[in-house]
């Protein structure tokens, strides 16, 4: 991407793994903030991972792309890089971009600005909670990797929390970990096998906490009754795990948002905080002994004795609504609309009770409100909260006991409707996810089973838009020598790339270029494929097979696409691309003569028929030379077949020197060769010129080779100079006939000399 082909600011994101839950949440925050500020984002993905958690690192590749492309600023998820590769690697890696505006996320490196989470307060509050609420004192801690800034900070906070509560720091309760599931398993084994007393375990991350719970179950220890457990990060699976995990929630999306706002200030030369720290908040769930907030709130509140008027009840419901929207970072409705909706919500209940002749007024209003709140992240939970709050104020809304009872029954009915709607929504979402994943698998299958490049590109073009990928660049690195392999060991940033397929649906542009459609690799995009009018979100991924780098893909991201899909498509595209290269190589090899490197009979027939088709269009004249080595049998019988092979190879050399590079030369039998050449006009002297050149080349070779035999070639020639409509077989028969006449003349000459 060059300065010339972009109208908007472009921010680069250097991310270790796009679909890992911690990083993906930060990435979501970056994406939303970029969209709100109408800037371009391009994410450079530094690793690829398979389902066994192995990963292939592409740091040298993506760093070269960042250095050679034009971006206004760079956001680096440095904490994740340090976690996988160590702090020393992360420091050296970040330092190479010192000429660009940089923001690091989750860890501080050198003097670069950063956005981080204040880990300490969250851990300290966890320990306070364990001690004050659950009366737990022997609290073990599973650390993160040593030298990792966040891991070290969480360990120090654990020690601070114990000291604050007048508890001793016991080294045997501190177990080394590395932010992995296995480190949680190992910690439990260590504690139990060494008979160390513990009542609770806090892990420095959720993955390790999951491992802790899994291992405790193996020892038949119940969480939380026997051992309480907590983690850190509040990853997506934390609330779904059994038991649900008490953890510390990092404001991951806010991290991404603040990184974008900070980098924009730096780019625009505005004052910006050097190091921003955001607070982490404990979330108490079942694994520590608590029940989730949603479970606690499900209990119907005791009706208030205070009699509120209708306006006060409406204000109370608006507060519930605003609280929910703020907690979920929604900006779905303005305050005036919310007030109007709540007024209708309360009035519809009154009408349903007081005008029983009209059926289900309140249920219909609930259904309408679900539609009106559809843009909120969870409109069903919002409606359920509003119903719970409204049920508390029935005594204020209705005068008689029977009306209060009727209103309560209607709200119960509405709650039943909400539960039914929630189940239906869950089923619909599940079905949509299943269908989309099936579509991904079918697309992957169509890609991986395609071995021809043309069919591969067609499969991608037909299926990717159905996956909501509306922009794509699919390019291979250009190499001066096609036989060169660009691997990790000899990686060098290619100056040029060749576009195989590019499209941008918003611009109605599709490009299936043929030939060497080269562009500067540092531009990332070929010309005209970028929408300059809107902020776009792109994902850049190197394409590779084992240690060989083939090219890269850039995907346009559309909201709602599961991020794991890009990794799956990358791996299948890479494998299919390599297969197409191998297939092409095999096809070429199957058409070449192994001894001479010339075309074999099959290759000759394939290429010659194309030349015949061109000739029949009236664009070219053809000449066909049928050549035969003289006395190859005598050379074989006298000097051996190895020497015969030498003579055959030298014949091929002589023919290459005689004819032009664009002429078709083939060995079609043991000592038989055939050549087809084109000429733009009738040239009666061409045959004599070629034969004279071949004769001189053979004379020179025989004079200098010191061989005990003479290399000699007989040749017959025919052509389409007379404009007759001859097919290939006819030309070959004519040339073969003339060759036979020449050999007979040579034989008579030898017999006469004898």
For position 148, what pLDDT does the model report?
A: 85
Name the pLDDT band for 297 (thresholds 50, 70, 90). Answer: low
142 plus 211 within the same structural domain: yes
91 plus 25 within the same structural domain: yes
Q: Which of 436-445, 712-721, 731-740 has the highest mean pLDDT?
A: 436-445
179 plus 306 within the same structural domain: no
408 plus 462 within the same structural domain: no
- Portion of the chain with pLDDT greater than 90, in percent: 51
Q: Are 709 and 638 in contact (CB under 8 A)?
A: yes
Listed residues 584, 618, 650: the one ending a domain: 584
For position 50, what pLDDT does the model report?
A: 60
Name the pLDDT band for 360 (thresholds 50, 70, 90). Answer: confident
**Vertex 210 angle, CA 108 and 382, to 5°:** 85
> What are the pLDDT digits (tens) for 495-516?
999 999 999 988 888 887 766 6
186 plus 236 within the same structural domain: yes
Q: Which residues pair with 249 in a beta bridge?
A: 233, 281
CATH number of the CATH domain containing 697:
3.30.70.270
Q: What is the end-to-end Cα distance of the chain in Å, rounded?
A: 77
In a domain, residue 438? The reply is: no
Average pLDDT over residues 322-337: 75
Is 749 buried (19+), middle (13-18) or exposed (0-12) by CB count in 10 A?
exposed
Domain hosting residue 675, numbered range: 601-753
> What are the pLDDT digits (tens) for 522-546?
999 988 777 766 678 999 999 998 8
Q: Which residue has the higher pLDDT, 359 or 631?
A: 631
In a domain, residue 434? The reply is: no
Can you state the angle between helices 206-218 and 181-193, rounded to 10 degrees? 40
Q: Is the pLDDT of residue 267 over 60?
A: yes
Average pLDDT, the chain: 87
Q: Is the pLDDT of residue 582 over 70?
A: yes
Q: Is the pLDDT of residue 302 over 50?
A: no
Euclidean distance between CA atoms 437 and 435, whole angstroms:
5
> What are the pLDDT digits (tens) for 657-692?
999 888 899 998 899 999 988 876 555 678 888 899
Q: Which of 10-14, 326-330, 594-598 has the highest mean pLDDT?
A: 10-14
For position 642, what pLDDT does the model report?
A: 93
Average pLDDT over residues 58-76: 94
For position 657, what pLDDT does the model report?
A: 93
CATH number of the CATH domain containing 164:
3.40.50.2300
DSSP per-residue codes, 242-282: SSPPBEEE--HHHHHHHHHHHHHHHHTT----SEEEEE-EE
> What are the pLDDT digits (tens) for 693-716?
999 999 999 999 999 999 999 988
For position 680, what pLDDT does the model report?
A: 66
For position 249, what pLDDT does the model report?
A: 92
Q: Is the pLDDT of residue 484 over 80?
A: no
For position 329, what pLDDT does the model report?
A: 64
Q: Against a cut of 0.75, is the pTM above it?
A: no
- Portion of the chain with pLDDT greater than 70, in percent: 90
* Cα R_g (the chain), whole angstroms: 38
In a domain, residue 447? The reply is: no
Q: Is the pLDDT of residue 83 over 90?
A: no
For position 516, what pLDDT does the model report?
A: 66
> What are the pLDDT digits (tens) for 462-476?
999 999 999 999 999
For position 46, what pLDDT does the model report?
A: 92
In a domain, residue 410? The reply is: yes
Euclidean distance between CA atoms 721 and 620, whole angstroms:
10
267 plus 327 within the same structural domain: no
105 plus 140 within the same structural domain: no
For position 669, what pLDDT does the model report?
A: 87
For position 724, what pLDDT does the model report?
A: 56
Name the pLDDT band for 120 (thresholds 50, 70, 90). Answer: very high
User: In 3-state terms, the chain is what percent helix, strand and coil (to 5)?
Assistant: 50, 15, 30
Average pLDDT over residues 428-457: 86
Least confident of 308-312, 417-421, 436-440, 742-746: 742-746
User: What is the torsion angle, in degrees rounded to the nearest 10, for the CA atoms of residue 246, residue 252, residue 258 and residue 263?
Assistant: 140
Contacts of 708 (CB under 8 A, 6+ apart): 639
20 plus 104 within the same structural domain: yes
Euclidean distance between CA atoms 496 and 298, whole angstroms:
62
In a domain, residue 348? The reply is: yes
| SS3 label, residue 212 | helix
Q: Is the pLDDT of residue 370 over 50?
A: yes
Name the pLDDT band for 52 (thresholds 50, 70, 90). Answer: very low
Euclidean distance between CA atoms 208 and 191, whole angstroms:
15
203 plus 73 within the same structural domain: no
> What are the pLDDT digits (tens) for 131-177?
999 999 999 999 999 888 889 999 999 999 999 999 999 999 999 99
| SS3 label, residue 308 | coil
578 plus 605 within the same structural domain: no
The two structure tokens encoding residue 644? 């015969």
Q: Is the pLDDT of residue 190 over 90?
A: yes
Euclidean distance between CA atoms 518 and 640, whole angstroms:
50
Average pLDDT over residues 168-189: 96
For position 581, what pLDDT does the model report?
A: 83
For position 308, what pLDDT does the model report?
A: 73
For position 752, what pLDDT does the model report?
A: 44
| DSSP code for 723 | -
Distance (Å) of CA 718 to CA 406, 625, 731, 732: 105, 7, 6, 8
Q: Is the pLDDT of residue 357 over 70?
A: no
For position 722, what pLDDT does the model report?
A: 47
In a domain, residue 442? The reply is: no
Average pLDDT over residues 59-80: 93
For position 217, what pLDDT does the model report?
A: 96
For position 749, what pLDDT does the model report?
A: 57
**3-state SS, one letter per residue, for 602-656:** HHHHHHHHHHHHHHHCCCCEEEEEEEEECCHHHHHHHHCHHHHHHHHHHHHHHHH
In a domain, residue 592? The reply is: no
Number of domains the chain contains: 4
> What are the pLDDT digits (tens) for 268-284?
999 888 999 998 999 99
306 plus 422 within the same structural domain: yes
For position 6, what pLDDT does the model report?
A: 54
Contacts of 577 (CB under 8 A, 6+ apart): 453, 456, 476, 543, 545, 550, 551
611 plus 741 within the same structural domain: yes
For position 43, what pLDDT does the model report?
A: 96
In a domain, residue 737? The reply is: yes
For position 263, what pLDDT does the model report?
A: 95
């Amino acid at each position: 991407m060059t300065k010339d082909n972009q109208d908007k600011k472009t921010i680069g994101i250097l991310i270790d793994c796009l679909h890992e839950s911690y990083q993906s949440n930060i990435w979501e925050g970056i994406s939303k903030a970029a969209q709100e500020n109408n800037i371009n984002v391009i994410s450079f993905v530094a690793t690829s991972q398979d389902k066994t958690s192995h990963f292939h690192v592409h740091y040298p590749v993506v760093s070269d792309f960042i250095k050679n492309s034009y971006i206004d600023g760079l956001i680096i998820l440095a904490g994740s890089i340090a976690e996988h590769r160590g702090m020393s690697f992360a420091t050296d890696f970040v330092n190479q971009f010192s000429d660009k505006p940089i923001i690091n996320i989750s860890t501080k490196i050198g003097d670069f600005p950063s956005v981080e989470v204040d880990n300490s307060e969250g851990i300290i509050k966890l320990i306070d909670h364990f001690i004050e609420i659950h009366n737990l004192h022997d609290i073990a801690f599973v650390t993160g990797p040593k030298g990792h800034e966040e891991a070290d900070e969480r360990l120090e906070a654990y020690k601070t929390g114990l000291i604050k509560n007048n508890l001793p720091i016991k080294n045997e309760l501190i177990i080394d970990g590395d932010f992995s599931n296995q480190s949680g398993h190992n910690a439990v084994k260590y504690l139990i096998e060494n008979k160390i007393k513990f009542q609770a375990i806090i892990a420095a991350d959720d993955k390790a906490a999951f491992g802790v719970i899994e291992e405790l179950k193996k020892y038949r220890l119940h969480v939380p009754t026997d051992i309480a457990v907590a983690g850190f990060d509040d990853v997506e699976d934390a609330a779904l795990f059994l038991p649900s995990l008490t953890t510390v929630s990092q404001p991951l999306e806010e991290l991404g948002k603040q990184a974008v706002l900070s980098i924009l200030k730096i780019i625009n030369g505005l004052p910006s905080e050097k190091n921003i720290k955001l607070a982490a908040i404990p979330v108490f769930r079942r694994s520590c002994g608590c029940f989730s907030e949603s479970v606690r709130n499900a209990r119907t509140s005791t009706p208030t004795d205070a009699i509120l008027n209708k306006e006060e009840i409406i204000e109370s419901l608006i507060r519930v609504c605003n609280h929910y929207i703020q907690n979920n970072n929604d900006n779905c409705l303005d305050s005036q609309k919310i007030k109007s909706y709540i007024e209708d919500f309360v009035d519809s209940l009154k009408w349903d009770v007081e005008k029983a002749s009209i059926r289900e007024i309140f249920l219909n209003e609930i259904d309408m409100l679900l539609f009106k709140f559809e843009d909120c992240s969870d409109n069903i939970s919002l409606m359920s909260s509003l119903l719970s709050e409204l049920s508390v104020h029935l005594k204020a809304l209705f005068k008689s006991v029977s009306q209060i009872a009727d209103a309560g029954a209607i709200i119960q009915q509405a709650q039943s409707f909400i539960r039914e709607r929630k189940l239906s929504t869950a089923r619909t979402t599940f079905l949509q996810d299943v269908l989309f994943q099936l579509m991904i698998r079918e697309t992957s299958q169509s890609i991986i089973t395609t071995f021809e490049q043309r069919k591969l590109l067609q499969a991608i073009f037909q299926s990717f838009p159905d996956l909501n990928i509306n922009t794509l660049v699919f390019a291979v690195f250009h190499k001066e020598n096609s036989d060169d392999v660009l691997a990790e060991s000899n990686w060098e940033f290619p100056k040029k790339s060749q576009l195989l397929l590019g499209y941008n649906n918003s611009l109605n542009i599709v490009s299936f270029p043929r030939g060497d459609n080269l562009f500067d690799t540092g531009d990332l995009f070929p010309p005209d494929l970028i929408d300059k009018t809107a902020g776009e979100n792109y994902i850049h991924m190197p394409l590779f097979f084992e240690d060989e780098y083939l090219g890269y893909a850039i995907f346009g991201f559309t909201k709602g696409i599961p991020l794991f899909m890009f990794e799956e498509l990358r791996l299948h595209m890479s494998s299919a691309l390599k297969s197409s290269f191998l297939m092409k190589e095999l096809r070429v090899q199957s058409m070449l003569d192994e001894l001479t490197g010339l075309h074999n009979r099959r290759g000759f027939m394939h290429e010659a028929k194309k030349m015949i088709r061109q000739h029949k269009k009236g664009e070219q004249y053809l000449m066909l030379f049928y050549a035969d080595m003289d006395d190859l049998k005598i050379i074989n019988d006298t000097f051996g077949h190895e020497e015969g092979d030498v003579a055959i190879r030298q014949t091929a050399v002589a023919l290459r020197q005689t004819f032009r590079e664009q002429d078709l030369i083939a060995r079609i039998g043991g000592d038989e060769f055939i050549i087809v050449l084109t000429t733009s006009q009738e040239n009666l002297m061409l045959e004599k010129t070629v034969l004279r050149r071949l004769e001189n080349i053979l004379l020179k070779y025989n004079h200098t080779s010191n061989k005990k035999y003479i290399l000699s070639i007989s040749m017959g020639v025919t052509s389409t100079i007379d404009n007759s409509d001859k097919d290939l077989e006819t030309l070959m028969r004519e040339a073969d006939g003339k060759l036979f006449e020449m050999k007979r003349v040579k034989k008579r000459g030898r017999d006469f000399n004898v």
